[in-house]
Amino acid sequence: MTAKLIIKKVKRFAADIPAEEIDFEPGVNVLVGPRNAGKTTWLRLIDHAFGDPDTAIKALGAPIAEKYDAVEVTINIGDADHVIGRNWKEKNAKTKIVINGQSLDVKEFNDFIFQKLGWPQIVYASGDPYAERAWKQLGFRGPFRHMFRQARFWGDFVEQQPGADFYACMMLFLGLAEKRYPPEHGDIVKANKEIERLTYKKENMVEMLTQVSHRLGSAKDVGNTPTIETLDKAITHYQNEMVRISETNKVLLLTTAKNVEPAPDLSDSLQKQWTEASNKRTVLKTDTERNRERWREIESYRRGVSQERERLERTLAAGELLVGIKITHCPACDQTVDANLDLEDQCYLCHQPHYVEDATKINTRRLEFEKAQLEEELSEIAGMANILETQYTQLMEQTRAVDIELQDISRKLAPLRTAVAAVMPVEVTLADRAIGALGERIKLLEGLKDSLQQRDNINQEITELEEQITLLRTKVTAAGEGLSFTIPAQRLTDGFNSYLNALNKEFERYDKALHGNVKITKSDVKVTIQDLPWQHKLGDTNTGYFVLAYNYALLKLSQYPEYLYPGLEIIDFPMTFADGKETEDAENYLIEPFCDLQKLSDKVNWQVIVAGRSFKDLNIAHRIELHETWK
């Protein structure tokens, strides 16, 4: 059973007039007064206090936002009172809601209200559950729109509320939200989205493997649809082929070596020199790359410091220009100020003594000190850059020397290579090429094998996700056990028709044939009249009756402990909605069903606040009269 939400007091504050307040009681409250008496303004202030994200000017209108500074609403939830406030004139507080003296943002306010009312947190899909950002958490403003009927919104149950949001609010009120929106439901959608992503990735991978295998189609042991087993066999085959060719090549090389008699000492010496020079060049190349990387870092840092120094210089220049500008008019009253008034040790504007040195000079010295530090830092950076440039020049000279040495060694080795090439059989060259081709083919097959293993890993991930979804669906099914909409739908239907029947107590105002019917499914709440959407069957006046019947039906849910409707209705009647009459009791018949409900209630722990013209002789209702009108 949810706690009930009762508004006890509304208080508004302005800078130039005493605070104004009105008190409400449980049960029916009527806020009455002539046109332009401010009835709607009081209700809008309540609405703004209850977490309205708009600015005060947009929510209340410029005249109200400018005249008043803040609002406080004292509410009772359960057995505890709380004060909710908004102060749109206070700096950095325009979007904050103050609860019991503590400043909260909208999310914290939602958490507070939900916790006090005993409402569960609801996360639901506001559209396509597979779309980005489709999931949202229900905040208090959604349900509150069902509780507050503004004078301008009488064409629908809740004006401009998306279907998914409306349904989530109804599930909350009917106490079915935890079963209808278990947390596992969102997890199932996320898992399905991940399966789709992995499946798409796997299909692309399989397509790529097919294309590559077609290119390798000449190899009978690979086939058009490769598998890890066939690839392992192909790799082993090519590796054995490489070993065989290498052994044959080795025999050819040994035979050839017998016919070549180079000077052994010279060959070994030159080879050793070549190796040493090559290693030295590799080290020089690495050192050169490190030098350039460090130089780039220093240069980037130098640019940043230089830009900061330029900003300080511009600030100092601007300060010199602005320091001479005097205040010519008082910022409070806009009267002319004599900037030439010579007051010893006093400010010419506020007349306060100068106990400390001129703030402008202090700020200037601080900026100049920071500028000097930056210039010193730039000097250090320039020194480091010069050292790196010197090192770079030395490394390049050493590299050129090593390159000359390598060229000299190559010239000395050329006759020996020519001698070997002259007696080298063609078979050796062909064998080397064959070994290289086989090596490349093995690398390609290894890549295919890795891709196949990734495909198998994706299959495993998909299998695990499918198993997870199965478990989640089991939990969702368990959570939804006993989820029945029959009784809630019937009670809402009875609520609608009870109000419509009450309208005809004295004479027929509403066509008896146009009774409402509520049907609730796992995805929708449908209200029909004669099996058609209710909007299709009603004119303007009957539409007003029918939406008021919706508020009555919600309020009747408060009688049942299994429902979570907090028992608050705020209704602002439009300018003309009373049979076209202007008598003082013309609107009474619209509120009498609520008064009858109060008479029949064992415990009045709910509240209806209605703003209208008069409501004369509604004796059971608490009456708040407004007499002054806005000019």
111-120, 243-252, 449-458, 567-576: range with highest mean pLDDT? 111-120
Q: Which spans in 24-138 are helix H?
A: 39-49, 56-60, 62-67, 106-117
CA distance 313 to 331: 30
The DSSP bridge partners found for residue 32 are: 612, 625
Q: Higher pLDDT residue, 305 or 348?
A: 305
Beta bridge partners, 148, equal 570
Whether the predicted pLDDT of 26 surpasses 90: yes
pLDDT number for residue 356: 43
Strand arrangement, sheet containing 525-529: 517-520, 525-529, 532-533
Q: What is the pLDDT of residues 174-220, one digit of tens each?
A: 999 888 888 776 677 777 778 888 888 777 777 777 766 666 554 55
| pLDDT of residue 363 exceeding 80 | no
pLDDT at 27: 94
- Residue 253 is encoded by which pair of tokens? 């090389």
DSSP-assigned states of every residue in 337-355: --TT---TTB-TTT--B--
- For residues 260 and 416, the answer to whether their CB atoms sit within 8 Å is no
Residue with tokens 């208080």: 11
Bigger pLDDT: 539 or 610?
A: 610
- Mean pLDDT value across residues 588-593: 90
130 Cβ contact list (under 8 Å, min separation 6): 189, 192, 193, 196
- Of all helices (H) and strands (E), which one includes residue 85? strand 80-87
Q: Tell me the pLDDT tens digit for each residue of 75-114.
A: 999 889 999 999 998 887 778 899 999 999 888 999 999 9
- Non-local (6+) Cβ contacts of 229 within 8 A are none
Query: Pick the residue with more confidence: 324 or 161?
Result: 161
pLDDT at res. 583? 46
Mean pLDDT of the chain: 82
Residues 6+ apart with CB under 8 A from 294: 388
Query: What are phi and psi for residue 136, nearest 5 degrees?
Result: -145, 160
In our burial notation (b when 16+ CB lie closer than 10 A, e otherwise), range 223-239 reads: eeebeeebbeebbeebe
What was the pLDDT predicted at 234? 82
**Phi and psi torsions of 294, nearest 5°:** -65, -40
For residue 268 the two structure tokens come to 């070994």
Pair of tokens at residue 485: 């909409």
**Tell me, what's the pLDDT at 258?**
60
pLDDT at 213: 66
Residues 557 and 565: beta-carbon distance below 8 Å: yes
Between 543 and 201, residue with greater pLDDT: 543
Q: Which residue has the higher pLDDT, 10 or 425?
A: 10
Q: Are 134 and 128 in contact (CB under 8 A)?
A: yes
What is the rounded distance in angstroms from the CA atom of residue 324 to the CA atom of residue 306? Answer: 28
Angle (CA) 613 615 616, round 5°? 120
- pLDDT, residue 297, reads 87
Decide if 22 contacts 607 (C-beta within 8 A): no
Tell me what the mean pLDDT of segment 343-347 comes to.
61
The count of other CB atoms within 10 Å of the CB of residue 93 is 15
**Interval 476-503 mean pLDDT:** 87
Burial of 288 (0-12, 13-18, 19+ CB in 10 A): middle
Is residue 275 classed as helix, strand or coil in its secondary structure?
helix
DSSP character at residue 124: E
pLDDT, position 367: 74
How far from each other are the two terminal CA atoms of the chain, in whole angstroms? 46
Q: Are 59 and 86 in contact (CB under 8 A)?
A: no
User: Is residue 90 within a helix (H) or strand (E), and if so which, with residue range?
Assistant: none
CB 233 within 8 A of CB 221: yes
Alpha-carbon dihedral 362, 368, 373, 377, rounded to 10 degrees: 160
Predicted TM-score of the model (pTM): 0.60
Q: What is the pLDDT of residue 438?
A: 79
Residue 327 is classified by DSSP as P
Whether 609 contacts 43, CB under 8 Å: yes
Tell whether the model's pLDDT for residue 264 goes beyond 70. no
Q: What is the mean pLDDT of residues 256-269?
A: 60
Mean pLDDT for the stretch of residues 416-436: 67
Kindly state the tokens that stand for 85. 């406030």
What value does the mean pLDDT take over residues 261-289? Answer: 77
Pairwise pLDDT comparison (143 vs 254), residue with the higher score: 143
